[in-house]
Amino acid sequence: MPQSQRDAEVFDVVVIGSGAGGGTVAHVLTRMGIRVALLEAGPMLHPAQDFLEHKWPYEYGHRGAGDGGASYFGRGKPFGFFSTTSGGWELEGEPYTLGEGTKFRWFRSRIIGGRTNHYGRMSFRFSDYDFQPHSRDGLGTDWPITYEDIAPYYDKAEAFIGIAGSREGIRSAPDGVFLPPPPPKAHEVLIKKASEKLGIPCIPNRRAVITKNLNGRPACHYCGQCERGCITASNYSSSQVQIFPALKTGKLKIFELAMAREVLLDETGKASAVSYIDKRTRREKRIRGRVIVLAASACESARLLLNSRSSRFPDGLANSSGLVGRYLMDTVGLALGGYVPALEGMPRYDTDGYGGAHLYMPWFGLGKERELGFPRGYHIEIGGGYDMPSVGSFHGMIRRHGYGKKLKESIRREYGAFVAFAGRGEMIPNHLSYCEIDPKVVDKWGIPVLRFHFRWSDYELKQARHMQQTFAAIIETMGGRVTGTFARADDSVPISV
């Protein structure tokens, strides 16, 4: 690779990554008059061109198909071809490797704003007990800060970005600074009735979508297409809410298509610059800063530290403990669907709402973990209604009902009568789950890649089985039947990653 070029300018702060962390740093510091350079491995975001929330799927190539589009068109895209994702689980020329016996998928975003452009906007606080896990059950490690330490910053963040929700006084779901939530949809009313009959609270969701005008941003217009982007910036993304305003201060300079390689040190051993690959020219360049901030996602930041080796730090920067990349955690996820006859043939109404579920269920087993057999909890996300059909939506009905008049009647009757539940739970960190540098593989930029090792423990498997049993109980309490695959007692529950 040609000798690296050095930028003569020295910034006050160099930030690597433009997602929730990097965007917040850039916004806060530039408002204070601090000169910031922001490195992003993907391209600039142009909402007027890139956001497609008000167009029909058939107006785009592959009719908006998601990952499943590969079955029909030979290729797919995570979350659909009209979503604002730029990246995915597999990036051409940027591999990662897996250790023996490991199943793991790493989603990487490559665009200004990162995953905040398409994430579900569900925005929850940690509870007081989340900061003291080891003190509670002897597992994991206590945080060096408490809920009381961070609560004022939760307040500040919620007031700025805008979170719709309600104050419920539930310990597992701490109250915050909320905008008014929208009312529940019809299927959610039935779900709430069934869940509360089972002793499970079902409350207004807490999503980063504004229901009132806020800081120059108009309230949500309820098109229900948040994952495609929001041209009015009524939902939160670091790109629109933080980075673009930071640019207007004149204190922010963005380096797009800049693939960070390593953090460089000065003669005193302090971080002083970042080596990166300019993807346009494929040349290595250096950018200098008095402070370097890593906000490139958990695993990409670990990769940077591990690749930043020197005589002073032979095992990687900030890795004298040997723990960088260790105790890798993922969300415990499991989904199950059902069919509810009570929802058949309902009068048609707009269920778009503010881009997702209007209700959710916070953890309901606090204090019962010992009898449940797993130490940490989960929340439940719900789905249903009359969402936009996607490629393949009605293939199951074709198999059951054939074609013609019978098929049309069946679709009209059954569409909107399906509900879905997804659990999102906490994993216990374990020494078998970690990422490290693969000594034999580099990406197309010549940067050593990560190798992942990952294992679920019995704690996560038991938690996932409890999710499955809970979802089935809610569906049956609604008078419905489970339509997804339900694992037998002797089967491993398929945790999604």
Residue ranges of domains in the chain: 5-45+84-118+236-329+431-453, 128-232+331-426+457-482
Mean pLDDT across 95-123: 93
Question: Angle 50-205-429 (CA atoms, 0-180°, nearest 5)?
Answer: 85
Cα distance between residue 117 and residue 115, in whole Å? 5
Cα distance between residue 263 and residue 447, in whole Å? 13
Which helix (H) or strand (E) covers residue 134, if one does?
A: helix 133-137
pLDDT of 6 higher than 90: no
Cα distance between residue 83 and residue 227, in whole Å? 6
Where are the alpha helices (H) located in 162-259, listed in sequence order?
186-197, 238, 244-248
What is the model's pLDDT at position 2? Answer: 47
Span 5-45+84-118+236-329+431-453 CATH architecture: 3-Layer(bba) Sandwich (3.50)
Selected residue with higher pLDDT from 78 and 304 = 304
Mean pLDDT across 417-440: 97
Mean pLDDT across 393-403: 77
Share of the chain above pLDDT 90, in %: 73
Which pLDDT band, with edges at 50, 70 and 90, does 225 fall under? confident
Which pLDDT band, with edges at 50, 70 and 90, does 75 fall under? low
What is the model's pLDDT at position 1? Answer: 46
Pair 447, 296: CB distance under 8 Å: no
What is the model's pLDDT at position 463? Answer: 96
Which of helix, strand or coil describes residue 244? helix
What is the model's pLDDT at position 76? Answer: 57
Place of tokens 């900030």: 318
pLDDT of 496 higher than 50: yes
